[in-house]
Amino acid sequence: MNPNSVEVLLVEDNINDAELTIRELRKHHMANNLFHVKDGEEALDFIFGTGKFADSRDLLCKPKVVLLDIQMPKVNGIEVLQKVKSDARTRATPVVILTSSKEDPDIQKCYDLGANSYIVKPVNFESFAEAIKNLGFYWLLLNQQPT
Amino acid sequence: MFFKDIPIRRKLMRGIVLICGMVLLVTCISFFGYELYVFRKSTKEKLSTIGKIIAANSTAALAFDSHEDAKEILAALRTEPNIVSAALYDQNGKLFSWYPANRDIREFPEKPGTMQFRLSHNFLEGFQPVAQDKKQLGYLYLKSDLGGMYERFRVFGVVAAFVIILSFLLAWLLSKLLQKSISNPILALAETAKMISEQQDYSVRAVKLGQDELGSLTDAFNNMLTQIEQQNLKLHEFNQNLEMKVKERTIQLESVNKELEAFSYSISHDLRAPLRGIIGFTTILEEDYSSKLDDEARRITAVIRNNTLKMGHLIDDLLTFSRMGRQDIIKTIVHTDQMIEEIIREVVPENRMGKISWVLHPVPDVQGDINALRQVWINLISNAVKYSGNREQPKIEIGSVRERGQTVFFVKDNGVGFDEKYKDKLFRVFQRLHSADEFEGTGVGLAIVEKITSKHGGRVWAEGTLNKGAAFYFTLPDF
């Protein structure tokens, strides 16, 4: 996939969660331009066109939404969020935090750092599917981004 | 102003001057009395002596009936200026001769009276017999004025007044000096005490002005101050130690609390993720391979999903329970009526709403943690709804009773109730009185209710009869 045509960047280290998310988005034809990275380091490389994306990424082409897990190896979601929101080139990119827990002590911190949404992934699959569907519809179809 | 309220200085001065005045007065009165007595006595004796001399001289004049001689003898009284008049009477009591000779005879007594001298008004007067060789010849009358005595008393009074005034003056001056030696140490002590209480400085000491009782008092006062100072020092040290200990413990507690928070976070995060996987992939199995699954297989996948969901609820409830235990209570005014209405709308499934007959009494607003109290009402109301679910006509009553210092809230239902002998188990974590087949639940809800009410300073209890219904009560203290 051409990294410059990516609409959804999914940052998720749990492959099962990733599979369920992708499956639900695909069900509603919203996963065509989805790119999945498995940790924060890879996510930053993609977003800022560094590392293995140094040659292929054009920073002017931004994803419509970044779905970001918090608990990840190497670089966690908070750090990714901080870097994205403190850089003028990427600040406008919507970042939706996806986490397993409402106990998360970082929920306030995420909003302070400029997270656009904070979603607790429900254990119940039906609710989970519903949440992912709504999320996709909202950020990919409803939400208008600066051009 | 009462005597007890005037300053010590003036009290002392007044006391000294008063005592001095009393002593002088008593002394003067005694002297005066004595003086009066002595003067009267001596005047009487003198008059009596003069009388005897005159009487002796008059015997011849009376015996020979010589008026001329008698007049001459009486005229000798000129040398005694105090004797204002005198008279001689013959043995028949008839006025014979008188002195001064030019005075009207009506001013003399007509007849001789009692033979002795008596004080009458301002005069001393009396009669004396004139006799020779036991032969009564006549009587002598003498009258003396007391002018001398009064003169003497006037001088005495003037001197006494002068002495009294002088003594008062001296007493006043002395008292002024004397009172200083008593009142100064007391005033100094009072001043020191005042200064200490105002400035809270217990290192100040009162100055000792002498070795008398006031000196001892000052010493005792200073000793007391030393003791207070030492105790303050000890208290201060003790406080500091205590503060250090509290700080240490707080740090320990904070770290334990942080660990607990991290622990519950990882539990909620790491335990929920696999559960989502199990449910998610079971659902995929059901959806994508439905043609290959028979009814039994579908029943089994449903069991897997249900159990996993239950596990999810259990984790959520446990986390709520542990969070309620750790979180501080933030008190605000809670509008209970409004809260109950909202919760009923939220927790009661739509298809059950119409079946239940609600009896909602007005309940008072309270002060408490809004989220925690919301959790209490959610748990109690959803329990009532759940356990009255199999009734033909479920009835739920919510209300409150005012008691002294607290309000008792209750939620009553006519559901399955419970056996009273197990009522102590109701509020323990994971304790259930019904199987999961009959009623779903994790056994944490009432434990959460108990924890929240006790954190609010209230308590919770239940009454119930098997198959008749249950009533849950909790109290909240007045704000």
Reported ipTM: the value is 0.80
pLDDT of residue B249: 94
pLDDT of residue B479: 72
Task: Locate the DSSP E strands across B114-268.
Answer: 117-120, 123-132, 135-145
What is the phi/psi pair of residue B408, to 5°? Answer: -100, 120
Instruction: Compute the residue count for chain B.
Output: 479
User: What pLDDT does residue A103 have?
Assistant: 64
Token reading at A43: 């996510």
Q: Mutate which of B254, B272, B311 to disrupt the A interface (most A C-beta within 10 Å)?
A: B272
Question: Which chain B residues touch A if contact means CB-CB below 8 Å?
Answer: 261, 264-265, 268-270, 272-273, 275-277, 279-284, 305, 308-309, 312, 319, 323
Question: Do B269 and A124 count as a contact with CB atoms less than 8 A apart?
Answer: no
Whole-number pLDDT of residue B376: 94
Beta bridge partners of B142: B86, B126
How confident is the model over B73-97, as a mean pLDDT? Answer: 86
Nearest CA in chain A to B314: A123
Tell me the residue type at B2.
F
- The nearest alpha carbon in chain A to B312 belongs to A123
Q: What confidence tens digit (pLDDT) does each residue in B327-373 have?
A: 788 889 999 999 999 999 988 888 888 889 999 999 999 999 998 99
Q: Give the Cα separation of A113 and B234 in Å (integer).
A: 51
**pLDDT tier for residue B64 given thresholds of 50, 70 and 90:** confident
- Check CB contact under 8 Å for B319 and A105: no
Specify which of B12-16, B87-91, B339-343 reaches the highest per-range mean pLDDT. B339-343
A120-134, B171-185, B238-252: range with highest mean pLDDT: B238-252
Give the full edge-to-edge strand order of the sheet including B117-120.
B95-99, B83-90, B135-145, B123-132, B117-120
- Are residues A77 and A95 in contact, defined by beta-carbon separation less than 8 angstroms? no
Helical H segments across B64-146, by residue range: 67-75
Strand runs labelled E in B188-259 = none
Nearest to A103 among B264, B305, B309 (CB): B264
CB B88 within 8 A of CB B58: yes
HSE toward the beta carbon, residue B357, CA cutoff 13 A? 6
Top-confidence range, B182-196, B276-290, B414-428: B276-290
Tens digits of residue pLDDT in B22-35 = 888 898 889 888 88
| Cα–Cα nearest to B205, from B180, B177, B230, B225 | B225
SS3 A88: coil
Instruction: Give chain B's mean pLDDT.
Output: 87
Instruction: Give residue B6's pLDDT.
Output: 83
Q: Say if residue A143's pLDDT is above 90.
A: no
**% residues pLDDT > 70 (chain B):** 100
Q: For residues B397-401, give the mean pLDDT.
A: 94
DSSP H helices in B348-369:
350-353
Inter-chain CB pairs, A–B, below 8 Å? 63
Per-residue pLDDT tens digits for A16-73:
989 999 998 998 888 888 999 998 999 999 999 888 888 888 877 888 999 999 888 8
Residue B53: CA count within 13 A, CB half-sphere: 9
Q: Which of A113-127, B232-246, B427-441 has the lowest mean pLDDT?
A: B427-441
pLDDT at B441: 80
Q: Which residues contact A29 (CB under 8 A, 6 or more apart)?
A: none
Tokens encoding B118? 């008596």
Cβ neighbours of A105 in B, within 8 Å: 261, 265
pLDDT tens digits, B420-476 = 888 888 888 777 777 777 787 878 889 999 999 999 999 999 998 888 899 999 999
What pLDDT, on the 0 to 100 scale, is given for residue B471? 94
Site of tokens 């106990």: A103
Q: In this predicted structure, what is the pLDDT of residue B1?
A: 64
CA distances in angstroms from B129 to A86, B53, B78, B112, B180, listed in the order given: 149, 12, 21, 9, 70
CA distance A126 to A122: 9
pTM: 0.52
pLDDT of residue B366: 92
Instruction: Give the DSSP letter string of B122-136.
Output: TEEEEEEEEEETTEE
Residue B142 to residue B140: CA distance in whole angstroms: 7
Q: What confidence score (pLDDT) does residue B341 get? A: 93
Is B265 close to A124, i.e. CB distance below 8 A?
no
